[in-house]
A and B are shown apart, each in its own frame.
Chain A
Amino acid sequence: MEIKYTIQGLLIYITVAVYLLAFVTTIARRVRAGRGLFVAGFALATISFVYRWVHVRHVPLQNLFEVFLFLGVACYPISWFCRRALRIGGQWADMLIGAIVLFPAGFIFNAEPMQLPPALQCWLFAPHVAVYMFSYVFMLKATFQAGEQFVNRRPRVEETLIPPEQATYELIAIGFPLLTLGLVLGSWWGKLAWGRYWGWDPKELWSLASWLVYVGYLHWRHMSGTKHPRINSLWAMTGMLAIIITLLWVNLAKIFAGLHSYAT
């Protein structure tokens, strides 16, 4: 754990604090103030991301530090979209997610700028990673909803506009196409860069496993509908576990050394 005594670090710490404040304010039933703080946190996260972009002079999605910075930005627009278009609540959870994803960027991951290796100098680089990150935020939100359903908790504040089980499905239905697109774009890029659209690399296999868990969820839910909501929720939570392993463990654990090691 290290503290970053840089402008970048300062921006991250302030954003985490604002997101946490937004969370606490919302929990304390000051919903409007909480939303205002959430917007402020988003603005700060965006400034932090743009600052990094200017600093490294390429789309900052190369390593875990930059990817988590991006996740911190993605939380608010996805939260807004879910609330407005899908009628799914849980904004308090989105504020918490924002703080959680920025925490490792601020205290754990190395922020040393890195030059892009030749393989990453491809137009598919940014869409492949960005699409995956958006899908991960949707799936994380789905996991929170699945968790609420699993413990049978009553909705917090004025939140849940549709029931958690239904909300979990809706979120997965939005995130799954992005997850599929991320996988396909990665495969296409792998063909251009390494000559193989599938290299049996640990990261590829874990991302396939994540995708398959959600394929399993969709088939299971088609079979049983809402008869076994807790099993539906378990599928969704297992998917998130696979995503966390794909995103973090594969890059951080030495047992999974492979073609994607430069993302560490």
Chain B
Amino acid sequence: MSSKKKINVALVGNPNTGKTSLFNQLTGLTQKVGNYPGITVDKKQGSCRLPDGSLAAITDLPGTYSINPTSIDESIVLKTLLDADKKSFPDVVVVVAEVENIKRNLLLFTQVKDLKIPVVLVINMSDQMHRKGISIDVEELKKLLQTEIILVSARKKEGIHDLKKAILNYQNCQTNSLLNLFEKIDKSYFDEIKSSLKGFTLYKSWLLITQKSSVKFISEASKQVIEHFKKDQKKLKQYQHKETIYRYQYINEILKKTYLVDRAKAKDLRGILDKILTHRYFGYLFFTSILFLIFQAVYDWATVPMDFIDTSFSELSIWCKQILPLGVFSDLLTEGIIPGIGGIVIFIPQIAILFMFVATLEETGYMSRVVFLMDKVMRRYGMSGKSVIPLISGTACAIPAIMATRNIGDWKNRLITILVTPFTTCSARLPVYAIIIALIIPENRVFGVFSLQGLVLMALYILGFAAALISALILNKVLKIESKSFFIVEMPNYKLPSLKNIFFEVVEKTKAFVLGAGKIILAISIVLWFLASNGPSAFNKAQKTVTQENVDKNISSEDLEKQIASYKLEHSYIGIMGRFIEPAIAPLGYDWKIGIALISSFAAREVFVGTLSTIYSVGSGDEGTIKQRMAAEINPKTKEKRFTFPAGMSLMVFYAFAMQCMGTLAIVKRETKSWKWPVFQLVGMGILAYIAAFITFSLL
């Protein structure tokens, strides 16, 4: 049994049909997310045990309304189903439909069926049929569509076993096409296609001809034939329209015989909720409340786990220091690696909570209503209603946010969204803000209720959003891109969110963040540690130089140690780098130590706190929290505190605007397919940050 070849199964279906729920039911914890080669579309795969004990490999293809793609994600479906030579080519396609939208879902089904690949039709959410007053004559539908049909409720785990049986017996599937629609459209034209492109099914040839992009896997000769047919674009469009009309006619005929809705029985949840949630006033009110709830949750709920993670890691460092023999390894571990890892892990609570909310809003169908409400407003800024999701996600992390711009069809809208998303206050800026606010803003209350520190933090968030919107406004005027904007957003039925789906979504996104950003942060902290604990000859003579200098002075050995340590830091490689840029950053109110933190922050902002903690711990040898060390830092020229109010404010403004994240730059490069835009972001945002920080420091 196990010697049999693994069956390759592809899940295909419209968005909002519960395809992902079904995938989660079939594969559970075996699922993995990879990438399709060359593009950043997530490839979700998992395995599933079939009734005979063998395994099937399940791929969850991106949701699409049609096999004709309108976005990069959707084009994966077409590519997967056309490239029959590939090893991963599906043995059987499971088309997921849903009881209520079956008419539109069947359009995709008839397209897949015409490719003559074995196909099983799943009608999901069958448990809702009674409540919605729907009845389906499944046996008749099977006959008319010439396919195996399985009624499934992925949420209630009903019908899953039947589906597995159908997958196992996929060889019994009928692989004929249903409609002779091409004869109806233009018999002689399609006969010509048939005779000039041999070896393909007619529908496959038609798809190859009508797609904008060309494919790699076909022979040169076939390519030329395809190019020949591509010449008459007008005809192709006209025939595609006819094709769609005939398909719907056919589907309507079949559903007339097999599908019945008793409107009297249907409970109209959509109507009731939409009256409130898309209402011109209440809709906004509700959306604002949701946003408020999300921000509250991200900052309030995450405090306890974040504090816990913070103290755990610093205790781990201390404990390691105690049990390990003194030396390079102990230093690397306790001053480089452990604080580095801690700096990543500390973001997990916030990111997980934010993604939980985003996933819940998408699951329930509410996100589409947000897109609907916000579209007109966002268009003024050269964006689309669909830009709201990236901008909200950006408050967790710009990387997944920029990936979420893919469903914005219009290139100009999408590009502007990508360019301005890094202005939103991501969670990596938070530790920087948090520590500086704690240093320079007193713990007062305003009007006896609001904490002053909280208000400053909120002001920084508003600053971030304002910067995003204003720069979008400017980019919208400046960028000359012809946009063939086309906006169509499905308004799905409201659903109770499935905990399982949300759980998988949160785990997947958090994992991607921790592994992606984590590698960079960890590497940077090790490099930093090395650069701070090594240096040219002056560094190595530190002990001697400082001892000699202090030979006449009566100082304790403890103070001497401190002086040696800070002398070492100043003459380490990183100290040299810091002092090199000091003249440039002095007008902003920073010294060379902050300069080091700025340099390393260009890898990732959150490195700032870790860097200062590394620098000050290398420099002092004292225990104590980072905050205490920063508060104790003295400006040698003025003999005042290093982190004065103007310097602190200037630093926060700098972090609000500067593009300090290699991960984001890399993702922008991938998504825009050019270095032009990430470089533009890096330089533009850098200049803006410098000027704004300079003004802040000068005025305060």
Do chains A and B stick together as partners? Answer: no
